[in-house]
Chain A
Amino acid sequence: MRTETILNRWLKVDPRSGRVPLKEIPRLAYSEWYDDLCQCLHEESCHVASYFGVPGPEGLWLICLVMDDLEGSVRIASYRYGRGEQRVLPSVTAVHPAMHVFEREITENFGVSFADSPWNKPLRYAHDRADWLHTMNDYPFYTIEGEALHEVNVGPIHAGIIEPGCFRFICNGEQIVHLEIMLGYQHRGVERLMRETENRLRQAVLCESIAGDSAVAHGTTYALLAETLSGQTVPETLEIERAIALELERIAIHIADTGALCTDIGYQLGQVACEALRTIVINTTQAWCGNRFGKGLIRPGGTYYPLTESLNERMLQNLEEVRRRFAEVTADLLDSASVLARFEDCGVLTCSQALRIGAVGMVARASGLKRDVRATHPTGAYRTMSHEPILVTEGDVFSRLKIRLEEVMQSIDYVRTFVGRWNEGREEVARPDYTSPWAPSSLAFACQEGWRGEIVHVGMTDEQGRLAAYKIQDPSLHNWMGLALAVRREGISDFPICNKSFNLSYCGHDL
């Protein structure tokens, strides 16, 4: 295995027991760390899951987690950046553009400079950033001079009920030459709030609101991380219930997105059909936990809402109904010339582009890049099943639609399987646990495949076992750049459907 030799200085961790004592994390010199990382990222199977700075008394400690899809492991290494140090580090972004989000964040928050970084602009204007000279109002937008070109600014306030974000287009007539996306308007300081509270219920609720459409995914990731830190193992029944919730979320959002894509091209038939189906799915979640988006369902250590047989029966019934009707919608969509004409060959993100920008999740899979944590780094109920990610290779809007259409069916199958397993071995599930002590001076991480893609949370505890740092990685962080690349050379009127086909989260990015 190549990574074995490249990353031999890095600590190898099994994602199922994602906890390491802080003192075991290898501390490399920047040059070693840089060489290792640059080399391993040439492998398609490797990508950086998280790379963040933790300020301490001696300076900044920068920790990097690399996910290796082939061996299903996570590799960790770190380097130090002394207090008051003025060193300029060579930038990894210059070699691997996917790293730009991490380096931009580190520069913005801690003032570390990276040499020859091609795109070192502020990422989200965090409240506790180092650089207060720059504000959102003077974001350095890229400009091109030219008689034929004109700029179109969209946002930060948009029509309709969507989140704020600023899109700056440079257009040649109707054609987009360049798009730059500036985010940060949704910054709430989630990571800081996480470490400032010791109340784990509050932490769980916070994680559920990182991105409202991924409440279950982020909630599960937090719950896994909390359980890892306290060394708890949860019964298989609970693991299955979480997986069911996650798949229900995937089904609901995928159907909603299919409907939204139809709305954006003015295809009423698909729109109304999908809206009705999505309601069935989220109402099923509501019948389970009282909230249509699964808030309150996932808690560390246990649950307030154990599944029951009658719930399961109702769920399977509803999903059968959804399967039947969604199959009709699918057939209709694939059959409508006017729909296909809009989606096909529009907003293409090539596989090599997806790889270079570090695309994850559904977007990566639509471009033929196999990135699925359920298959490569499975946790919980996914460990005992073989999940084959659905791949489409064209990378256009239609591919991203097709991934959704097929994943809905796949997820319905999975829920059936999970319910079957739930029936076989039922165990008593405890109530949530907010008090058991966390391992002191440790780093823990957890990853889940939300409907959008890979979600990674990393937590670090101090000597008393309290959270000293918490790092959240939403798939949107990487994929926004994919949208900017996909719309190049498209008509500006096709931007909305490209945007919708990615359906990225603003608040997941801005935290």
Chain B
Amino acid sequence: MVSLILILFVALMLPGLIARTRARLSGRKGVRFYQHLHNVGVLLRKDPIYGASAGLVTRWAPVVYLGATLTAALLLPVGGFGALLSFDGDLVLFCYLLGLGRLALMLGAMDAGSSFQGMGASREALYGAFVEPALFLILGTLALVSGQVSFNGLFAEELGGRPEMGVVMILMIYAVFKIVLVEAGRIPVDDPRTHLELTMIHEVMVLDYAGFDMALITLGGWIKMALLALIGASALATTFWGTAPVIVLLALLFGIGIGVLESMMARSRLSRNTTYIVTIIALAFVIFTIAFLVMREVSIG
């Protein structure tokens, strides 16, 4: 239970941290820290509005999206606090729960019957297909190092227990950071602040959603971002000081990292995104290979 509360805490803090970092770096004071929570609160009190062509899929998609993400949250432990649900192979379920959420959003977008949403869904499908192998490779590496195939086992003890693993984990947090950028739709992959429908990916898929439904989607997105950030944080922290406060703090640092990155660089051309994401797969594969070699104590050179 504590792990779930910690996950939700990170999820609710991250957007505020990103916004505050961005504001500070652009020389502004910025909105109050909890503004995003107020915004979602307002959305939660509003009724959803549906377009003329919206059917059942549109109505169910936000629920499925948030439901799938929350279920995935049940599988993740934080520090010493175990996950609510744990069994061998829950890693795979975790990935596919995120996949299910993505699928629900895509179908919901296409159900709107607008060319914009269709465009967004096709982009999301492409990027989703590429980011999934990267995530699997990362989780696979963790499984390889710990010799366990459930999240509880993965982060239960010091990973590998040797200093070489530290290098692997630093690489891994970098890869996970990139996955977070893709999954949360941040710069340089997507721009959550843009008003230009033609350039959007995630935002254009949810263009037709309003009120309560929009709140569910927003919350789902935050939780997804928190889950991935916590995986990265746990992987690094478990190598050194695997306590819950350290992990939560590291995960929150992701928010500051995203804020800094978004202030400093421009978004990539859309056609470059695929390259960007494929690079994450390559990086994940390199990490996997290094971890494998370290585990087998293969000496090189």
Task: List residues of chain A with CB under 8 Å of any chain B CB.
Answer: 150-154, 159-160, 174, 262, 264-269, 271-272, 336, 338-339, 341-342, 346, 491-496
Contacts of A491 in B (CB 8 A): 269-271
Residue in B115, B198, B263, B264 whose CB lies within 8 Å of A493: B198
Task: List residues of chain B with CB under 8 Å of any chain A CB.
Answer: 22, 25-28, 115-116, 119, 187-188, 191, 193-199, 262-272
Contacts of A341 in B (CB 8 A): 266, 268-269, 272
| Cα–Cα distance between A151 and B118 once the two chains are bound (Å) | 11
Contacts of A160 in B (CB 8 A): 195-196
| Cα–Cα distance between A336 and B25 once the two chains are bound (Å) | 17
Do A153 and B266 touch (CB < 8 A)?
A: no
Contacts of B188 in A (CB 8 A): 266, 338
Chain A's nearest CB lies how many Å from the CB of B124?
13
Residue in A159, A262, A266 whose CB lies within 8 Å of B187: A266
Residue in A264, A342, A494 whose CB lies within 8 Å of B194: A264
CB within 8 Å for A342 and B269 given contacts A272-B27, A493-B199? yes
Contacts of B271 in A (CB 8 A): 174, 491
Besides the known contacts A174-B119, A268-B25, A269-B264, 11 further A-B residue pairs in the complex with CB atoms under 8 A apart: A150-B115, A152-B115, A152-B116, A174-B270, A262-B266, A266-B194, A271-B26, A336-B265, A341-B269, A342-B266, A495-B198
| Cα–Cα distance between A342 and B26 once the two chains are bound (Å) | 21
Task: In the A-B complex, list the 9 residue pairs whose CB atoms are closest, starting with the nearest.
Answer: A267-B266, A266-B267, A266-B191, A493-B270, A160-B195, A496-B196, A338-B266, A265-B266, A272-B26
CB within 8 Å for A494 and B266 given contacts A264-B196, A266-B194? no
| Cα–Cα distance between A271 and B25 once the two chains are bound (Å) | 12
Contacts of A493 in B (CB 8 A): 198-199, 269-270
**Interface pairs (21), CB distance under 8 Å:** A152-B116, A152-B198, A153-B115, A159-B196, A159-B197, A174-B119, A266-B187, A266-B191, A266-B194, A266-B262, A268-B26, A271-B26, A336-B265, A338-B265, A342-B269, A346-B269, A492-B119, A494-B199, A495-B198, A496-B198, A496-B199
CB within 8 Å for A272 and B199 given contacts A150-B115, A152-B119, A266-B187? no
Contacts of A159 in B (CB 8 A): 195-197
CB within 8 Å for A266 and B193 given contacts A174-B271, A338-B265, A491-B269? yes
Do B267 and A342 touch (CB < 8 A)?
A: yes
Contacts of A336 in B (CB 8 A): 265-266
CB within 8 Å for A268 and B22 given contacts A153-B115, A491-B269? yes
| Cα–Cα distance between A253 and B25 once the two chains are bound (Å) | 25
Contacts of B25 in A (CB 8 A): 268-269
Contacts of A266 in B (CB 8 A): 187-188, 191, 193-194, 262, 266-267
Do A494 and B270 touch (CB < 8 A)?
A: yes
Chain B's nearest CB lies how many Å from the CB of A172?
13
| Cα–Cα distance between A6 and B197 once the two chains are bound (Å) | 50
Contacts of A262 in B (CB 8 A): 266
Chain B's nearest CB lies how many Å from the CB of A415?
27
| Cα–Cα distance between A450 and B262 once the two chains are bound (Å) | 35
Residue in B28, B193, B268 whose CB lies within 8 Å of A338: B268
Contacts of A268 in B (CB 8 A): 22, 25-26, 262-263
Contacts of A151 in B (CB 8 A): 115
| Cα–Cα distance between A272 and B271 once the two chains are bound (Å) | 27
| Cα–Cα distance between A174 and B125 once the two chains are bound (Å) | 14
Do B198 and A154 touch (CB < 8 A)?
A: yes
Contacts of B265 in A (CB 8 A): 267, 336, 338
Contacts of A154 in B (CB 8 A): 197-198
Chain A's nearest CB lies how many Å from the CB of B127?
13
Least CB separation from B259: chain A residue: A268
| Cα–Cα distance between A269 and B22 once the two chains are bound (Å) | 10
Contacts of B191 in A (CB 8 A): 266
Contacts of A339 in B (CB 8 A): 266
Most chain B Cβ neighbours within 10 Å, of A339, A346, A493: A493
Contacts of A494 in B (CB 8 A): 199, 269-270
Most chain A Cβ neighbours within 10 Å, of B28, B197, B199, B266: B266
Chain A's nearest CB lies how many Å from the CB of B291?
31
Least CB separation from A261: chain B residue: B266
| Cα–Cα distance between A264 and B188 once the two chains are bound (Å) | 12
| Cα–Cα distance between A336 and B263 once the two chains are bound (Å) | 12
| Cα–Cα distance between A266 and B191 once the two chains are bound (Å) | 6
Chain B's nearest CB lies how many Å from the CB of A345?
10
Contacts of A153 in B (CB 8 A): 115
| Cα–Cα distance between A341 and B273 once the two chains are bound (Å) | 13
Chain B's nearest CB lies how many Å from the CB of A330?
15
Chain B's nearest CB lies how many Å from the CB of A102?
31
Contacts of B115 in A (CB 8 A): 150-153
Chain B's nearest CB lies how many Å from the CB of A492?
5
Chain A's nearest CB lies how many Å from the CB of B153?
40
| Cα–Cα distance between A493 and B22 once the two chains are bound (Å) | 24
| Cα–Cα distance between A346 and B269 once the two chains are bound (Å) | 10
| Cα–Cα distance between A268 and B259 once the two chains are bound (Å) | 11
| Cα–Cα distance between A271 and B265 once the two chains are bound (Å) | 11
Chain A's nearest CB lies how many Å from the CB of B28?
7
Least CB separation from B197: chain A residue: A159
Contacts of A492 in B (CB 8 A): 119, 198
Contacts of B198 in A (CB 8 A): 152, 154, 492-493, 495-496
| Cα–Cα distance between A153 and B262 once the two chains are bound (Å) | 30
